[in-house]
Structure 1
């Protein structure tokens, strides 16, 4: 892998890695395999399951894998504890599967985490839900997908993607649906705070660790695992994300600003050269009144997602980096 510097990751233009999706095995004595309907994968950041890989730096072309795993190969196996056609009352108890599923503050997988279920073992926790929200945005793992977020009353209060629940359908049977109505909800990343919250999710999305850098793979939410894929995810742009040149030149996405105008969520972009030199980072804050360094989020080679002090674009730093403001912020 070539890099612009020891801390400046390269971009790629041709992701090549595709591996089969994982099949979850149940250990019931009389196993009944149930296939959820296969839907397009548009998984959201922050939902963690053992076996997922990480997000990465931006490349020019996306891949059909999520976390290095294809989403078209297999379904999930379920035991007899959740059969099609079963009806449960509101505030019902449900089994779960997989590990390290994030519970969110709102019915949006881009919202901050408020807890986690199945921290150390698949299906360790059962959840109690009193209603569910149709978000209109699919979250997938393997060939299992759901547009619904369940409101949990236990063991953690918050919202959990129904894809984490061990039922053969994409919604909780017998639990009331509130809001959404199947209509798409506002895309996350519409404000500076939302963008930075989404950027931060990659620091721990890989089972508590940062999403690894890759020039060839996409993460479970279908964004490329490189710098511009990471920024595209944080901004809520369509998957698999635009490339670094697009982030700098598309005036429907960004506009140039001066260094003195930088605000949280703005970008510093080096769009020159080729995919071995281009890079983009997300500005969070100045570290001092003299503006000699700043804290930023980035997806970099040999490390993955990072949150650290940088000087790209500043006097004495890499002068090829220029400041840009996402136009969706409206200022």
Structure 2
């Protein structure tokens, strides 16, 4: 498959489009009339965080939480031939309106969904947000418009259009604003990548996304190892292949094993589609660095989060460490 991407044009919503959107998100009688008390500490917090730009809402994909699994040697089909530490911040509380607002892994309109706000009833959920991104791309729902995306810390972690928040403003009052422009900001891109990786552990109605070299998941990415990593990195759908992840210097660069950090990759790019594989490094399991916990999409199982030794002494030596260049280090 060839790589492709889509862009979200600024303020192209027509009156007919807005009517259709309103049919999906019934207008709250309090929309843009309800003021909420915002935690005053947030305004002075000076929170430094990461952000992207974009907006979309639609169908649901499961939320991301996963337990680790113990390691065992397993046989797996690998590749497709088709193609730090977390920073904590204070958060402010807001009401929402309408139904079925999708929360995205990043504020990129093409990023996977990680959950849904007001799944069954208008205003069912309240949200907390620790920062917001001015995307520069106006989104309208009826008479309400905003260019801002809020970064949620609850009830789902991810990005939500401020249009979904039941306040009179086009942005969240008292919540820090980060720059837009569709580029990752320093400090949070590794965490966002791991959050996206975790979504596939429960995206299949609470179960992992099944493995396939031929099929594409709901978010547009192939269901093999390299499609999964492409999704976690936010690359264009349907994703590049394992060779591309290892050799495209616009995506990764080689590093040493001792440099591995959360979100880095271990890649076996040799052989054919039944031998190539890629996994996402999360953390070392001990001070001796004799094993690590990783996310992977593997044959006969699907999405997994488990202990591995690929690329380590005594493990599969074909695996080499790489760092996504988007992390900027």
Q: TM-score, normalised by structure 1?
A: 0.55
Distance of 2:264 and 2:219 partners within structure 1: 23
Distance of 1:185 and 1:93 partners within structure 2: 25
Return the match for 1:49 from 51, 56, 60.
60
Task: Check 1:147–1:47 CA distance in 2 against 1; reply closer, same or farther (3 A cut).
Answer: farther
Distance of 1:312 and 1:150 partners within structure 2: 38
Query: 2:248 — aligned with what?
Result: 250
Query: 1:178 — aligned with what?
Result: 171
Shift of 1:295: 0.8
Task: Check 1:328–1:150 CA distance in 2 against 1; reply closer, same or farther (3 A cut).
Answer: closer
Task: Check 1:45–1:61 CA distance in 2 against 1; reply closer, same or farther (3 A cut).
Answer: farther
Return the match for 1:221 from 204, 219, 222.
219
Task: Check 1:161–1:208 CA distance in 2 against 1; reply closer, same or farther (3 A cut).
Answer: farther
Task: Check 1:225–1:125 CA distance in 2 against 1; reply closer, same or farther (3 A cut).
Answer: farther
Shift of 1:239: 2.4
Counting only pairs closer than 5 Å after superposition, residues 1-331 of structure 1 correspond to structure 2 as: 35=20, 49=60, 59-61=80-82, 94-97=97-100, 102=103, 117=117, 122-123=120-121, 126=124, 135=135, 149=149, 161=160, 176-178=169-171, 184-187=181-184, 191-331=189-329
Task: Check 1:257–1:48 CA distance in 2 against 1; reply closer, same or farther (3 A cut).
Answer: same
What residue ranges of structure 2 are gaps of 5+ in the alignment?
Answer: 3-18, 23-52, 64-76, 84-93, 140-145
Q: Deviations over 1:10-50 (max 9, x none)?
A: xxx69xxxxxxxxxxxxxxxxxxx7459xxxx999999727
Distance of 2:291 and 2:20 partners within structure 1: 52
Contact 2:151 2:160 (C-alpha < 8 Å) held by counterparts:
no
Shift of 1:272: 0.9
Contact 1:211 1:305 (C-alpha < 8 Å) held by counterparts:
yes
Task: Check 1:174–1:254 CA distance in 2 against 1; reply closer, same or farther (3 A cut).
Answer: closer
Task: Check 1:324–1:123 CA distance in 2 against 1; reply closer, same or farther (3 A cut).
Answer: same
Q: TM-score, normalised by structure 2?
A: 0.55
Secondary structure at 1:94 match in 2: coil
Coordinate RMSD, CA, aligned: 5.1
What residue ranges of structure 1 are gaps of 5+ in the alignment?
Answer: 1-12, 15-33, 63-90, 140-145, 164-169
Contact 2:261 2:282 (C-alpha < 8 Å) held by counterparts:
yes
Secondary structure at 2:266 match in 1: strand
Shift of 1:258: 2.3
Distance of 2:151 and 2:255 partners within structure 1: 41
Number of matched residues?
247
Secondary structure at 1:225 match in 2: coil
Task: Check 1:290–1:156 CA distance in 2 against 1; reply closer, same or farther (3 A cut).
Answer: closer
Q: Deviations over 1:278-311 (max 9, x none)?
A: 1100111222222221111111122221110011
Contact 1:57 1:230 (C-alpha < 8 Å) held by counterparts:
no
Distance of 1:289 and 1:320 partners within structure 2: 23
Secondary structure at 2:310 match in 1: coil
Shift of 1:59: 3.1
Shift of 1:157: 8.8
